Amino acid sequence: MKKGKRYIESAKLVDKSTQYTVADALDLVVKTASAKFDETVELHIKLGVDGRNADQQVRGVVVLPHGTGKTKKILALAKGDNAEVAKKAGADFVGAEDMVAKIQSENWFGFDVCVTTPDMMPVIGRIAKVLGPKGLMPNPKSGTVTTDLAKAISEIKAGKVEYRLDKNNIVHVMIGKVSFGTEKLSENMTTLMDAIIKAKPAAAKGTYIKSVSLSSTMGPGIKVQY
């Protein structure tokens, strides 16, 4: 893929053979973000685990102290009192069978997160095959299947992010926007890294944190000492 002029100029500021301190890496992320929009900052962590084994899975959620800079649209699949709770808590869309039918018939995905209550899971099972591949299927481990919808919705709005391994045993998580500045990005990064370190599976052997890198949406990757 051909790189643009801005990327090439930004990449000149980064020494690919160097592992930077967190402070220096974040400073470079901000400096190398040259797009005309507020770029997202992503953290990429290669872990020394084998995600094919159930006892070496790394997955969880954490509320970033400064949020992500992105307002997520929430679909709450709930009935009765729970539906009212979801509406009051700030869910963008609330419904039950009607919303499931909308997803089925219209292929509608105008939301970023789906939350629900345990009693709704049989209904949601009808659309599991379309929600799953898009990463939208509610899951107790990510706090999106819960009896406390108000708490789940408020945490998502406050900046809760989910971290999980991809097929290459790498975790990719956004930690904010370039406009946050280095201090807020650093605090978000520390909170996330602490959570991932605590989530180390007992079955994991050898080096757990193999490599860490940072990048903005349009910027080069920057290796980080950790």
Query: Tens digit of pLDDT for each residue in 70-105?
Result: 888 999 999 999 999 999 999 999 999 999 999 999
Could you give the dihedral angle defined by the CA atoms of residues 79, 84, 90 and 94, in that order, rounded to the nearest 10 degrees? 30
Q: Give me the pLDDT at residue 12, please.
A: 67
Q: Name the band, by pLDDT with cuts 50, 70 and 90, for residue 135.
A: confident
- pTM here? 0.79
- Partner residues linked to 164 by β-bridges: 59
Q: State how far the Cα of 87 lies from the Cα of 176, in Å rounded to an integer.
A: 27
In this model, does residue 150 exceed pLDDT 60? Answer: yes
pLDDT value at residue 9: 63
What pLDDT, on the 0 to 100 scale, is given for residue 115? 96
Among positive and negative, which fits the CA dihedral 99, 101, 104, 107?
negative
Question: Which of the four pLDDT bands, split at 50, 70 and 90, describes residue 159?
Answer: confident
Looking at every residue in the chain, the average pLDDT score rounds to 91
Confidence of residue 11 (pLDDT cuts 50, 70, 90): low
Torsion sign, CA atoms 91, 96, 102, 107: positive
pLDDT digits (tens, 9 = 90+) for 58-71: 989 899 999 999 88
Contact 216, 39 (CB under 8 A): yes
Output the CA torsion sign for 175, 181, 182, 184.
negative
pLDDT given for residue 10 in this prediction: 61
What distance in Å separates the CA atoms of residue 207 and residue 224, rounded to the nearest whole number? Answer: 16
Give me the pLDDT at residue 213, please.
96
Read off the pLDDT of each residue in 209-222 and give the average, rounded to a whole number: 92
pLDDT of 1 over the 60 cut = no
